[in-house]
A and B are shown apart, each in its own frame.
Chain A
Amino acid sequence: MADEVREPDHEGEPEAPAPPRPVEDRPSDEVAAALCDRFADAIFFESHGQSVVYLDRAHLADAGGYLRDDEQFTMCVDVTAVDHLVDGVRHAAPGVAPERFEVVANFLSHTRNRRIRLICEVPESDPSVPSLTGVYPGTDFAEREVFDLFGIRFDGHPDLTRILMPDDWVGHPLRKDDPSARVPVTFKGDPRPR
């Protein structure tokens, strides 16, 4: 299904298979290897025994569709994001061009009983990624939460509204430049505007 709906304007051209990598360069994990073959810019990284694939943000939904349809990753367990604005040591896999934000999606295959994690670097100038809701409807709330708390847009999400904060809230609380205690506590009967 994901093969048909793939956007034509993505850079990297996932339609045309990239030239196969040298054997010694291929990741030991077969799913990660398949992802790396399919998406030319994908980088495999083993993080404390877990398979992580960094890939271009344009391919996030395509990679999700591939994982679901071809690799039996039945469930997208979690979608979240990280703001790396003030990191001491910026953690990223070798070869990844770090950006301010990272969108992280964890997948679980019930049939193969294994997990994989996709990470996309998202620049501050254009914080948006394609939505996974078309492939995994269960990411609905999670993507709304990331939008609400980080201000990262999910293109194609059916109802991208704030979920935890009030609708008229200004700012995105989990960004590092949105410090806690920015809004003073209002007490009952306080004449000042909220």
Chain B
Amino acid sequence: MSDELAGVTDPNVLDPSEDAIAEPIGSQEAAADHPFHRVPADEARLERQTGEGAQELRTREREIVMTGGTWPVDELGDTMVINMGPQHPSTHGVLRIMMELDSEEVVRAKAIIGYLHTGMEKTGEELTYVQGATNVTRMDYASPLSNELVYATAVERLLDLEVPERATWMRMMLVELNRISSHLLFQATNGMDIGAVSMIIYGWREREEVLRLLESITGLRMNHDYIRVGGVAADLPDGWREHVLNTMDIVEAGVAEYDALLSENPIWLERTVGIGAITTEECIALSITGPILRSTGFAWDLRKAQPYLAYDDVDFDVIFTENGDVFDRYRIRLYEILESVKIVRQCVANMPGGDYRVQDRKVTPPPRARIDESMEALIHHFKLFTEGFKVPAGETYTAVESPRGEIGCYMVSDGSGKPVRMHIRGPSFYNLQAMGPMVRNSLVADAVAIVSSIDPILGEVDR
């Protein structure tokens, strides 16, 4: 050993091909024989470290050896419980995860929710059916139009109301635009959580274009209150076709960029492939829907399986993969953007004419022009927006495919102007149950990637 060390100190003997790390830096003998600093910087060494090719990665022949005992892995299974969140940046809001750790491995994880509980279902019972959409749209704030759609369809089913064809197609186009913006948000935050930090810029860039389009149609970037009982709030604005088609081109170009940036990136693959794998059986047992279920090889999508709106009349594919890991969930959401682009383009091409809301005066306010000339119309308008309309007693459950899975609305009416019960089956709420099995036996850093790949929106989890 002492010969070896002497050899290293002599610059003439030092062979550049033999990496200095090849010998144990901190082994017991070396520490005993040698002071803390191994070698003073010398010319040859300096040249080797700064010369051409010095930055290339060389395979190390031996790992660094630690002195002072082994890493404290307790044989008795002594574990430590730590909390991640609720203020952790990668918990997508205020999710708290209690993790039982064995060194850096997660033994068990439990989601603690409720930090964003604002009693929206209680509020929904105190609002009229006209006001209700304003409430539900704030639940899943990344895809508000899906919430409005499921709420509106539930009320319409209780009323036995048929929505005009144009309103149906407008709803479908808007919900798909919203799916695009939601999945772009996922690409941005998922990239940032896993370490591809520039994704937050790119994802936001394209999402902003979609939100700008939604603003031009609905008047608001988020929380639109646009899909209302009986149709939608307003007709499409002038020049919407060009705006939609331009935005779709931008989105497609963006998706191609993400694909090029991430899908074959070795660091990305290292962080995502095989991480947080889950099977179809586990998903179905845990009531998990949406991209997580589809990532396990089960092509279940309510848009295809139980078509609503006009999904029968458009051509699109259900994206599914086989492995059920973080990478597959990333890939599914990426390609679902392209499928949604396909649907939106077909909506633009086939948008029917006609009314954008039913002409049933029970649920639709009279046109603005009528209010100026008719006292009855004014009274009608006033009553509709103060008292709302009455819905016959009954109960129903409707479900649509939101970007996160099956969002459902269970509504009970007692014949008055406000629902007795307005329950939203939030897909994130159920999908969060998958976190436990996914995180088990993974590293803490992977837990961040897994939670991100579930894509929970805490506004909907806690409601």
Q: Please give the residue numbers on chain A whose beta carbons come within 8 Å of chain B beta carbons, in ascending order.
A: 47-50, 52, 74-78, 80, 82-84, 87-91, 104, 106, 110, 113, 115, 117, 136-142, 145, 149, 162-166, 173-174, 180
B266 at interface (Cβ–Cβ under 8 A)? no
Check if B119 sits within 8 Å of A180, measured CB to CB.
yes
Contact assessment for A82 and B421 in the assembled complex, using a CB-CB cutoff below 8 Å: yes
Inter-subunit contact A91/B413 (CB<8 Å)? yes
Closest 5 A/B residue pairs (Cβ)? A138-B287, A89-B415, A87-B414, A164-B114, A89-B393
Interface class of chain B by DSSP: mixed
Of chain A, the residue at the smallest CB distance from B412 is A82
C-alpha spacing A106/B406, complex, angstroms: 12
The residue in chain A whose Cβ has the minimal distance to the Cβ of B117 is A164
Check: B305 CB closer than 8 A to any chain A CB: yes
Say whether A163 contacts B113, CB under 8 Å: yes
Q: Which residues from 278 to 294 on chain B have a C-beta closer than 8 Å to any C-beta of chain A?
A: 284-289
Interface assignment of B141: CB less than 8 Å from any CB of chain A: no
Q: Which B residues form the contact surface with A (CB < 8 A)?
A: 113-114, 117, 119, 121-123, 126, 157-158, 160, 284-289, 298, 300, 305-306, 393-397, 399, 406, 408, 410, 412-416, 420-421, 423, 425, 429-430, 432-433, 462-463
Report whether B430 and A142 are in contact in the complex, using a CB–CB cutoff of 8 Å: yes
A82 adjacent to B288 (CB under 8 Å): no
Question: B312 to nearest A CB, angstroms?
Answer: 14
Query: Which of chain A's residues have a CB closer than 8 A to the CB of B306?
Result: 113
A57 to B289, CA, bound (A): 27
Within the complex, which residue of A106, A113, A162 is in contact with B397, where a contact is CB–CB below 8 Å?
A106
B288, B430, B432, most chain A CB atoms within 10 A: B430
Within 8 Å CB of B123, what residues of A? Answer: 180
Nearest chain A residue, comparing its CB with the CB of B121: A174
Asked if A47 and B286 sit within 8 Å, CB to CB, the answer is: no
Q: What residues on A are CB-neighbors of B410 within 8 Å? A: 78, 80, 104, 106
* Cβ-defined contact, B126 with A140, below 8 A: no
User: CA–CA, A7 to B126, complex, Å?
Assistant: 40
What chain A residues lie within 8 Å of B394 (beta carbons)? 47-48, 91
Point out which of B121, B394, B415, B423 has the most chain A C-beta atoms below 10 A from its C-beta: B423
Residue of B nearest to A90 (CB): B414
**Residue numbers in A under 8 Å from B113 (CB-CB):** 163-164
B462 engages A50 (CB within 8 Å): no
CB distance A74 to B284 under 8 Å? Answer: yes
Rounded to whole angstroms, the CA-CA distance of A90 and B416 in the bound complex is: 11
Q: Which residues of the other chain, B, contact A162 by a CB distance below 8 angstroms?
A: 114
Question: What residues on B are CB-neighbors of A139 within 8 Å?
Answer: 287
Q: B302: shortest Cβ distance to chain A, in Å? A: 10
Q: Judge whether B284 and A75 touch: CB under 8 Å.
A: yes
Question: Which residue of the partner chain, among A52, A77, A83, contacts B421 with CB atoms under 8 Å?
Answer: A83
Contact B114 A163 (CB under 8 A): yes
Give Cα distance in the complex from A47 to B410, angstroms: 12
Q: Which of B300, B420, B430, B433 is the one whose CB lies under 8 Å from A84?
A: B420
**A76 to B425 Cα, complex, angstroms:** 12
**A75 neighbours in B (Cβ, 8 Å):** 284, 287
Check if A77 sits within 8 Å of B412, measured CB to CB: no
Cα distance, A142 to B433, chains bound together (Å): 10
Least Cβ distance of A193 to chain B in Å?
21
B454 shortest CB reach to chain A, Å: 13
A2 CA to B397 CA, complexed, in Å:
27
- The answer to whether A138 and B433 touch (CB under 8 A), given A78-B410, A89-B414, A91-B394, is yes
Contacts A74-B284, A91-B412; A48 near B433 (Cβ below 8 A)? no
Choose from A91, A141, A145 the contact partner of B393 (Cβ within 8 Å). Answer: A91
CB-based contact A88/B415 at 8 Å: yes
What residues of chain B lie closer than 8 Å to A141, measured between beta carbons? 429-430, 432-433
A77, B288: Cα distance in complex, Å:
8
